[in-house]
């Protein structure tokens, strides 16, 4: 196989994102309609402050999960345990920092624990050959219990300014979680698009057996995407804990795995594996958060939250559906003739 040049590779992960970008712009415009100060940005204690910033800030954890989830789904797998891994890493970080472990060690250890959870998932999927939905279900159920063991079932709060800073400080006035998510996105793109790794992941997802015959180490590829997903979830968990200055093992990341999967789907990926787009998945995560923020600003009755969300998701998915697009095209032709 001859590899496409670096340039086209980098472009490939951006260019087909048009429908997602359109959808995001649409949702952001709808947000502006329900709340006219939506795009107002000011500086508050040296960092950008405004509703549109909230979309990126609160979207960062799901964006991180979506990055890892994209790779997992590309191999034909799925990772249901990311919300539980968030709880585990957040709990571990909170307990470590309260035991006076230095910040960098705390973050490294909490991330490592997330990676270890991913390794466990990858081991079950690639080595033991349990179906991914079942294999990751194990941690989905047990993970929150592990997190509760770490915290002793309580919300462990911390006052360490450095760990809180993961969420509350900023780089060039941009809130740090946004910077972290952008960095992880760039690193992941570099790893999968500037090396053959992306190709191997897609090959594994498209047809694992023939990939193995072609000499692809599918097991190594599979384990590594789950580890990456675990690391991303670990980072998201640290950010979520820093955001509320505490580890809420019962509630952090609850059902967030579904948002991450939805983000990847909104990004146009197929759950059957194969092609994936990291930027598109991150835009998918931002669509979800723009929707959430818009609902909160709208002043609708909370009873409508889920209905509004479902309708928006349906519309975005219909906009992307090939069958739907074909239908629109043929209708246009009929009208034109």
Rounded Cα distance, 173 and 37, in Å: 20
- Nearest to another protein of 173, 325 (CB atom): 173
Residue from 245, 274, 308, 309 touching another protein (CB under 8 A): that is 245
Residue 55 within binding range of another protein, rule CB under 8 A: no
> Considering only CA atoms, which of 282, 28, 64 is closest in space to residue 167?
64
As measured in angstroms, the least distance from the Cβ of 242 to another protein is 11
Rounded Cα distance, 218 and 207, in Å: 10
- Three-state SS at 52: helix
As measured in angstroms, the least distance from the Cβ of 130 to another protein is 24
Residue 299 within binding range of another protein, rule CB under 8 A: yes
- Nearest to another protein of 33, 196 (CB atom): 33
- The CA-CA-CA angle for residues 220, 143, 186, to 5°, reads 50
The β-bridge partners of 276 are none
Residue 252 within binding range of another protein, rule CB under 8 A: yes
- Tokens 């997992």 identify what position? 72
Piece of 75-83, 214-222, 263-271, 291-299 that binds another protein (CB under 8 A): 291-299
Count, residues near another protein per rule CB under 8 A: 33
**DSSP E strand boundaries for the chain:** 42-44, 47-49, 156-157, 170-171, 174-175, 246-247
Residue from 302, 322, 323, 334 touching another protein (CB under 8 A): that is 302
- Nearest to another protein of 223, 247 (CB atom): 247
Piece of 19-27, 49-57, 71-79, 207-215 that binds another protein (CB under 8 A): 49-57
As measured in angstroms, the least distance from the Cβ of 285 to another protein is 15
As measured in angstroms, the least distance from the Cβ of 216 to another protein is 41
Residue from 79, 160, 202, 243 touching another protein (CB under 8 A): that is 243
- Nearest to another protein of 35, 207 (CB atom): 35
Rounded Cα distance, 108 and 219, in Å: 26
Rounded Cα distance, 238 and 110, in Å: 8
As measured in angstroms, the least distance from the Cβ of 250 to another protein is 6
Residue from 3, 33, 133, 153 touching another protein (CB under 8 A): that is 153
> Considering only CA atoms, which of 223, 227, 231, 229 is closest in space to residue 127?
223
Piece of 193-201, 205-213, 294-302, 327-335 that binds another protein (CB under 8 A): 294-302
Residue 35 within binding range of another protein, rule CB under 8 A: yes
Piece of 63-71, 121-129, 238-246, 320-328 that binds another protein (CB under 8 A): 238-246
Residue 259 within binding range of another protein, rule CB under 8 A: no
The β-bridge partners of 42 are 49
Please provide the size of the chain in residues: 337
Residue numbers at the binding site for another protein (CB under 8 A): 35, 37, 44-45, 49-51, 54, 58, 148, 153-155, 157, 168, 240, 243-246, 248, 250-252, 292-293, 296-297, 299, 301-303, 305
């Amino acid at each position: 196989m001859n590899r496409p040049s670096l340039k086209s590779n980098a472009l490939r992960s951006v260019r087909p994102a048009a429908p997602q970008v359109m959808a995001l712009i649409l949702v952001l415009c709808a947000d502006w309609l329900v709340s006219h100060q939506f795009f107002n940005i000011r500086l508050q204690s040296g960092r950008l402050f405004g509703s549109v910033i909230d979309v990126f800030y609160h979207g960062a954890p799901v964006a991180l999960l979506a990055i890892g989830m994209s790779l997992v789904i590309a191999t034909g797998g799925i990772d249901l345990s990311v919300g539980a891994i968030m709880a585990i890493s957040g709990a571990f970080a909170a307990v470590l920092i309260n035991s006076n472990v230095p910040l960098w060690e705390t973050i490294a250890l909490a991330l490592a624990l997330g990676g270890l959870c991913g390794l466990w998932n990858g081991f079950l999927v690639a080595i033991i050959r349990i179906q991914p939905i079942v294999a990751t279900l194990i941690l989905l159920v047990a993970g929150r219990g592990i997190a509760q063991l770490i915290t002793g079932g309580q919300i462990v709060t911390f006052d360490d300014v450095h760990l809180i800073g993961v969420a509350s400080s900023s780089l060039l006035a941009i809130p740090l979680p946004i910077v972290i998510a952008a960095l992880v996105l760039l690193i992941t793109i570099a790893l999968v698009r500037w090396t053959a790794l992306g190709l191997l992941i897609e090959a594994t997802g498209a047809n694992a057996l023939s990939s193995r015959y072609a000499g692809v180490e599918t097991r190594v590829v599979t384990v590594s995407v789950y580890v990456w997903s675990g690391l991303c979830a670990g980072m998201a968990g640290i950010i979520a804990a820093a955001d509320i200055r505490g580890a809420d093992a019962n509630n952090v990341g609850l059902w967030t795995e579904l948002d991450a999967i939805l983000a990847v789907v909104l990004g146009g990926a197929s759950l059957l594996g194969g092609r994936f787009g990291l930027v598109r998945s991150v835009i998918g995560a931002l669509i979800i958060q723009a929707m959430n923020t818009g609902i909160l600003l709208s002043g609708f009755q909370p009873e409508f939250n889920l209905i509004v969300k479902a309708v928006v998701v349906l519309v975005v998915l219909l906009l992307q559906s090939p069958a739907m697009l074909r239908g629109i095209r043929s209708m246009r032709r009929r009208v034109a003739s």
